Amino acid sequence: MLNSFSEKLKALQRFDDSVATQVLKFQLEHNPWFGRFANALNFEWKRQTVDLWPYMPIDAFKRIQGFRCMDEQKTDQFFLSSGTGHAARAQHYIRDLRLYEVLSLATFERLYPLEKHVVLAYLPGYADNPHSSLIHMLKTIIESDSSKMSAFLSLENPQPTHAFIQHIIAMGKRIVLFGAAFGLVELAEKQSLRIPANSIIIETGGMKTYRKAMSRKQIKQCLTQGFGLPMHHIHSEFGMCELLSQAYEQGDGWYKCPPWMHVLVKQEEKPLSGRIFNQEGQLYVIDLANVYSCSFIQTQDRAIQKEDGSFQVLGRMETAPLRGCNFLMEQE
């Protein structure tokens, strides 16, 4: 079943409402929390278009222990969101990691085929982070490289040998350097990694724990200068533990989804209304790879979307204020 479903998704050329409808029906029946949510909204799926389907707040992955479709199959694998401080972390139970591996590899290889690229990951190792979806994805991609040249870089001494770089060039391959934004910025500032000028960098976001706030534009400028690469070689990946699919931005500033992922932007505070284009709003995602958890997610991200479906992520939604006189230094 899983194999056939992943093959079905991989075969899609574009997002298919009928497949999404099947997934919606399945999840309304098998994910008890999502089913109750839709019932409470008086949702009648037969009469609704995609943008008026129920979208579960992403907090469900933090607030519900074992948020997933329920059946007799045991599920003991899960991804955890990166946490800061004492904040609750999202937990995404995974029925079968193979589905995630197949689809994330397929998404990556559509854009960066491994026969032409070598992936170098500047991220903590898998052993220390067995519940990180990003690191699991990188491990999958690296292990799928039949040339065996792709690798996790040492965090202490990331610079590959001159001979290794020369070998990559001689093979006619391009380096894809993958890393969290703050780690790459530090590398750029220290100039502790030199890579060929035709390399591509993919930053995965993640600046919230960094010592200073930086916009995506500032990050890209820093990486351009630090690595001596043209701006259009700095790409971004949009992913999170709650989603098993990823969107990529390849230097033009706009993320594009694989065919089994679909995003919508809706006006803030209008979760039950239709989508909007070319205006800032709140990001909603349909991720069919989440077939055994919940595919219809209301995120906490601000975004803007063009009619062709590509989108930009503009930051986090503002959270509602607390009651009382809340003098905050940053606001005052």
Contact pattern for another protein over residues 134 through 163, marking x by CB under 8 A: ------------------------------
State the nearest-atom distance from the C-beta of 285 to another protein, in Å.
16
Question: Is 34 near another protein (CB under 8 A)?
Answer: yes
Q: Which is nearer to another protein, 68 or 220 (CB)?
A: 68
Mention every residue, 6+ apart, whose C-beta is less than 8 A from residue 42. Answer: none
Interacting residue with another protein among 60, 176, 244, 304 (CB under 8 A) = 60
Closest CA to 263 of 209, 207, 225, 302: 302
Count of residues near another protein by CB under 8 A: 33
Could you give the angle at which helices 97-111 and 133-144 cross, rounded to 10 degrees? 60
Q: Which is nearer to another protein, 43 or 254 (CB)?
A: 43
State the nearest-atom distance from the C-beta of 330 to another protein, in Å.
9
Interacting residue with another protein among 57, 124, 251, 253 (CB under 8 A) = 57
State the nearest-atom distance from the C-beta of 327 to another protein, in Å.
3
Whether the CB-CB separation of 60 and 35 falls below 8 Å is answered with: no
Residue type present at position 128: D
Q: Which is nearer to another protein, 29 or 143 (CB)?
A: 29
State whether the Cα torsion 155-161-164-169 is positive or negative: positive
Q: Which is nearer to another protein, 26 or 33 (CB)?
A: 33
**Among 29-37, 142-150, 182-190, 244-252, the segment contacting another protein (CB under 8 A):** 29-37
Interacting residue with another protein among 1, 40, 127, 213 (CB under 8 A) = 40
Q: CA angle at residue 27 from 25 to 31, to 5 degrees?
A: 145
Could you give the angle at which helices 2-11 and 97-111 cross, rounded to 10 degrees? 20
Whether the CB-CB separation of 268 and 28 falls below 8 Å is answered with: no
Distance (Å) of CA 11 to CA 16, 31, 116, 246, 286: 11, 26, 22, 17, 17
Q: Measured in whole angstroms, how far is the alpha carbon of residue 164 from the centre of its chain? A: 30
Let me know if 319 is exposed, middle or buried by CB neighbors in 10 A (0-12, 13-18, 19+).
exposed
Contact pattern for another protein over residues 239 through 278, marking x by CB under 8 A: ------------------------------xxxxx-----
Contact pattern for another protein over residues 296 through 325, marking x by CB under 8 A: --x--------------------xxxxxxx
Question: Is 194 near another protein (CB under 8 A)?
Answer: no
Question: Is 14 near another protein (CB under 8 A)?
Answer: no
> Can you give the binding site for another protein, defined by CB under 8 A?
33-34, 36-38, 40-41, 54, 56-57, 59-60, 63-64, 269-273, 298, 319-329, 331-332
